[in-house]
Amino acid sequence: MSDGTDETVDPVTLEVVRNGCAAVCEEMNATLVRTSYSPNVTERQDCSCALFDADGRLAAQAETLPVHLGAMPFSVAAALEAHPPATLEPGDAVLLNDPYEGGAHLPDLTLVTPVFVDDDLVAFAANRAHHADVGGATAGSVGADATEIYEEGLRIPPVKLLAGGEERAAVYDLIERNVRTPEERRGDLRAQVAANETGVERARELVERYGRETFGDALAELQDYSERRMRSELEAIPDGDYRFEDVLDGDGRGAEDLPVVATATVDGDAVTVDFAGTAPQVDGPVNAVFAVTASATYYAVRAVTDPDIPPNAGCYRPVDVETPSGSLVDPEPPAAVVGGNLETSQRATDVVLGAFAEAVPERAVAAGQGTMNNVTFGGTDDGGDGDDDDGGGSDGDGDAFAFYETQAGGFGAGSGGDGMDAVHVHMSNTLNTPAEVLETAYPLRVRRYELRPDTGGAGRHRGGLGLRRDIEVLTDAVCSLLADRQRHAPYGLAGGETGATGATYRLDGDDARRLAAKSTHDLEAGDVVSLRTPGGGGYGDPTERDPEAVARDLRLDKVSTAEAREAYDHDPDPDAE
């Protein structure tokens, strides 16, 4: 770590380069979103972009998905181990998705592109996009019943997708022959290439403006700057061991109430987060590889310190993550892992935030919904019984389709205010698929989409509300569900109550049959799946809630009359009998 006395770049140039690198990443992300084929990227923006220095250390990032960004440095390291910088040339691009070699889960494909100025390697542009299908046993590649990674899809070690600027046709062909929607996959891959090419061009402009030496020195000094600021933040937290424990509902294969434990040891200007006590790895697909667990930890530490610290490699130098090998948060292959990136990452975040709540309660928030509520629908698009007047339907071209989406829920309340309603919390941070797009692109129809009243935990500040989204299939299809927090509610803090749990139902007229949170189902045209997501935990004593806030919730139908009376001791009509 620099002592802050040997800077070689003046502060103004340093700040301009910092913002310039951040702008490069944001433009990369905009390019990726605009040019992709799949609604999962173009609408939900399930993608992330970053810039790395010549040694493969994180230099800047677009503020998108925490679960991607904290894990991406592991992918870049794996790419450079397989393809050392000395072997790379202008126009090369390395693709990978193997969770056991720098990846997170198979649907997330990471592309790493070197940035050359003349013959000098000066940086790397990288992006990660969640592909809506990468093969495997279940359409959408988020199978709830997988027990080995081999069932989850195509596993790609670091391999050159481009060499010298030319597409490697064999790599594209290999991917396309192992997925259900090859045209969409090729389109999204080419969008990833375009995003990195944007990053390469913009990074070159920065280097040409300030010179290679100044640019490299600036990236190094920015990392030292972030490290100093992070250490200063950690030093302000009282030293000690802070422990928190929560559980995953289960793995979908019979293992239930799986403990996830974090002990944050603050020692001066550094912190060690140890997950000792966490459950061993399980048969079901909720195992989270180390990169995912580290990503969750980094995010939580940033959240309770100063989120404005420039996010780069220096920011994480004072943070040490320790995990038991062969555990739920650091499994050994060939464990299934697709849900670890989606569900266990959320619980890891919950317990790290819960641990820090003991140390800095004023910065803490109650638990958010704690799940991404994953749902996939897949099959053959035969047009179903959709009609133009009723919405939904498709062109019935007979092609395979694969739809993937996560569902929003409640954000936890904090000392500063209520939790947000119906948002993608913590590690997700994506958007929804608009009903209009969903119904145009797939043989699906949205039947209902609304907030769930009374689902936010009561408190001086109320937890955010979950939502209900009912989706009808217009053709026979297979549906896979992968969710959590349907047995154990999101915790409240400082006297706040828990948020409501989630649930999923298969609807047939007035009949509603509850479905397991992690399960796969054969559906017939006309079946409706009703997704109901958890609310966030409350913060503080509910009896201390501002009566005007309760009255506002009543007017907006966020809280029922019965809930207002029972939880808040608030009678909306005190003169009524």
Between the CA of residue 375 and those of 5, 271, 404, what are the distances in Å? 53, 36, 6
- Count of the separate structural domains present in the chain: 2
Domain boundary residue, one of 212, 228, 244? 228
Residue 359 forms part of a structural domain = no
Gap between the Cα atoms of 376 and 111, Å rounded: 24
Instruction: Look up residue 532 and give its amino acid.
Output: R
Taking alpha carbons only, the member of 193, 161, 307, 210 closest to residue 8 is 210
Residue 477 forms part of a structural domain = yes
Q: Coil, strand or helix: which one is 297?
A: helix
pLDDT of residue 245: 98
pLDDT in tens, 225-264: 999 999 999 999 999 999 999 999 999 999 999 999 999 9
pLDDT of residue 508: 85
Taking alpha carbons only, the member of 189, 284, 296 closest to residue 484 is 284
Gap between the Cα atoms of 5 and 3, Å rounded: 6
Which 8-state DSSP code applies to residue 349? H
Overall pTM surpassing 0.85 (yes/no) = yes
pLDDT of residue 387: 45
Residue 437 forms part of a structural domain = yes
Domain boundary residue, one of 228, 247, 275? 228
Taking alpha carbons only, the member of 395, 363, 394, 401 closest to residue 380 is 401
Residue 425 forms part of a structural domain = yes
Gap between the Cα atoms of 323 and 311, Å rounded: 23
Residue 212 forms part of a structural domain = yes
Tokens of 259: 């403990």
User: What domain range is 527 assigned to?
Assistant: 365-577
- What residue ranges of the chain have pLDDT lower than 50? 1-5, 386-393, 576-577
Gap between the Cα atoms of 46 and 520, Å rounded: 23
Taking alpha carbons only, the member of 230, 291, 293, 288 closest to residue 262 is 293
SS (H, E, C) 47-72: EEEEEEECCCCEEEECCCCHHHHCCH
Residue 381 forms part of a structural domain = yes
392 and 538 co-located in one domain: yes
Residue 198 forms part of a structural domain = yes
Residue 74 forms part of a structural domain = yes
Gap between the Cα atoms of 103 and 110, Å rounded: 8
pLDDT of residue 552: 97
Gap between the Cα atoms of 426 and 293, Å rounded: 13
223 and 369 co-located in one domain: no
Sheet holding 159-163, edge to edge: 58-61, 47-53, 120-130, 108-117, 93-96, 159-163, 166-167
Domain boundary residue, one of 210, 228, 246? 228
